Structures are given as C-alpha cells and as structure tokens.
Amino acid sequence: MLRDPNVILLGEEIGVFNGVYKVTRGLLDEFGPERVRDTPISEAAIAGAAVGLALAGLKPVAEIMYMDFLPICMDQLATQAAKMRFMSGGQLKVPMVLRTQYSLGRQHGSQHSQFTPAWFLQVPGIKIVLPSNPYDAKGLLKSSIRDPNPVLFIESGLLYRTKGPVPEEEYTIPLGQAEVKRKGEDITIVGISRQVGEALSAAIKLEQSGISAEVIDVRTLQPLDLKTIVESVKRTSRLVIASDDVKTGGVGAEISASVSENAFGYLDAPIARIACPDTPIPFSPPLEQSYMPNADKIVETVKAIMGK
C-alpha cells in the first residue's frame, strides 16, 4: 500500500474493527477510510466492486470473511472476473485479490469452516494462492497484488497464530512455484495450506521409523507447479497428498490425476489422498478433531504404503 497508491482494501469489518481476525490491524489509521473501506454485509457487492475497481485501474484487495461466504459472490469471481480477459479478446484486465480464510479446526461448525479450493479449479482465469507460513504469506500476497489477474488468496484461520521469520525488507514469491520444504528419498508428501505443517511434522515422525519423506508445499494451485511434484515422484516413486478439503472431487484428486498422467510408470504404489471425510464439518470439538487430517493420519497412511 505504501508502494502503490492504487492498492485499496474493502471488506466487512476490516477498518474500524481491524478485521475479524485482525489481519488488517492498523491499516485504517495508516491509510485512511478511502483506502481501507468497511463495507455492508454484501458479499456479491464486495466482490463486484472489486471487479469494477480493477476495471477502473485500481488494485483492490477485497476480503471475504469466511471461505463459506464465497458462494454468495461466486458469480462475480467465477463468471465475471475470471472470464473478462478471455471474453473481451484480451481487451480487459482484472488485477484484483480476493482474500479469505477457512476456519477448520476452530469449532466454527459446518457453515464457517469449509475449505473448497477445488471449486475454483474449474474456473480458468483465476489464480489460487495458499500460503502455509508467515514468510510465504508476505511474499505471495505481494505477488498476488502485483499480478494482473484475479487472485483468490486463501488463508488458514488456524494458522493465524503461527509464528515464523518474516523479513522486514521487500521480497516476493512468484506464483506457480512449489517449494520442496524437506528433501526425502522414499515418498513424496504434497501438502496444501495448513497440511504443509502437518506433513512436516509427519516427516519428522517418519524419520524415526526409518522412512525418508520429501515434503512439497504447492503454494499455488492455479497455476500448479506440476513439474516440481512430478520430478519428486519420479525419484521417490510414491505420493501422498494432504489437504483440508473433502476428499471427493477435491484438490487431491486433481493432483493425483495429473501425476498419474505424467509419472504413472514411476509409481511403486497407488497414490493416497488424505483429506476430510465426505460429510459437513461437525461442531463438536472431539468430532471435529477426528474429522480433520493431521500428522498422525499422514504417518499412518505413509507407513501403510511403505509396508511398515
């Protein structure tokens, strides 16, 4: 915002209230009410206004409080923003960011916890970014704001209290580059968002059992850095994908299919997906804990694949 006066924020409770999870804390005081705009509870209008702002040459960063509210503005995102450049034959550009978070693991119940990135994989024209740690959150957000396309920036609410090094100085992380978080020989674990941390914890536990796991953070699902994943699988010959969405038709299915298309001959075991069961999210804290994918479930799955 300091660098580019065209960057403007809008969303519910982002100003005076500092954001429902304080993500935008202090920004209203620093940049004023014209650049940090509290909106009515009107998700379609928030997303639509972001689209219009982008068309008018600004760089909107809109916030939708919970990922569960995205369907309310799905038209603006999926049918308007994502298709404008294409339908206009390249005349229009929509440089907007729509930030949201999912609160799985915070006892928010079925309608405030969903993680549904796969819906947007069916929408060419939009980029999907998912930071798994504070360092990436800064670098990826900067790249998203500077990107000339609509970007859906999905945060994990459960990770908001994660601490990690974030340099004060300027840096960006390109969209479309996965990161190998840990080198390994026996199996590749692809993590998405919060599951990257779980995969890293699992890898440490697996090491104690003599299994060397490679952990990859996709960082973006659209574009997906398939090359990094496929190269890893070609070395390890095994793949597990961990994500917080529902298993059927989820992001794991897409990555699995793409790896099968590109590295089937290298696989020594079926690809495994670790995801949520096909039910809405239960409120009851112990039920929710059982529902969520975690490091232990990853360990268990990997051991079964490795026959250990």
- Catalog residues that contact another protein under the rule CB under 8 A: 8, 34, 39-40, 42-45, 47-58, 60, 75-76, 79-80, 84-93, 95, 124-125, 127, 148-149
Closer residue to another protein (CB): 91 or 208: 91
Nearest approach, Cβ of residue 228 and another protein (Å): 20
| Cα–Cα dist 102/110, whole Å | 11
Q: Which is nearer to another protein, 125 or 197 (CB)?
A: 125
For the bound state, the minimum distance from the C-beta of residue 102 to another protein, rounded and expressed in Å, comes to 23
Active-site residue (options: 108, 112, 198, 254): 112
C-beta of 156: minimal distance to another protein in Å?
25
Distance CA 81, CA 55 (A): 10
Residue placing its CB nearer to another protein in the complex, 26 or 223? 223
Cβ–Cβ under 8 Å, residues 276 and 211: no
Taking the complex as a whole, how short is the minimal distance between the CB of residue 271 and another protein, in angstroms? 27
Complex with another protein: residue 95 or 139, whichever CB lies closer:
95
* Least distance in angstroms from the C-beta of 86 to another protein: 5
Mark whether 43 is an active-site residue: yes
Determine if residue 154 is left, alpha or beta; phi over 0 gives left, psi from -120 to 50 gives alpha, anything else beta: beta
Task: Please name which of 158, 163, 206, 162 lies closest in space to residue 182, comparing C-alpha atoms.
Answer: 206
57 vs 307 by CB, closer to another protein: 57
For residues 85 and 234, which CB has a smaller minimum distance to another protein in the complex? 85
Question: Is residue 207 annotated as part of the catalytic site, yes or no?
Answer: no
Smallest gap from residue 244 Cβ to another protein (A): 26
Q: For residue 50, which of 94, 13, 14, 18 has the smallest C-alpha distance?
A: 94
- 200-210 burial by CB neighbour count: b if 16+ within 10 A, else e? bbbbebbeeee
Which positions are catalytic?
Answer: 43, 112
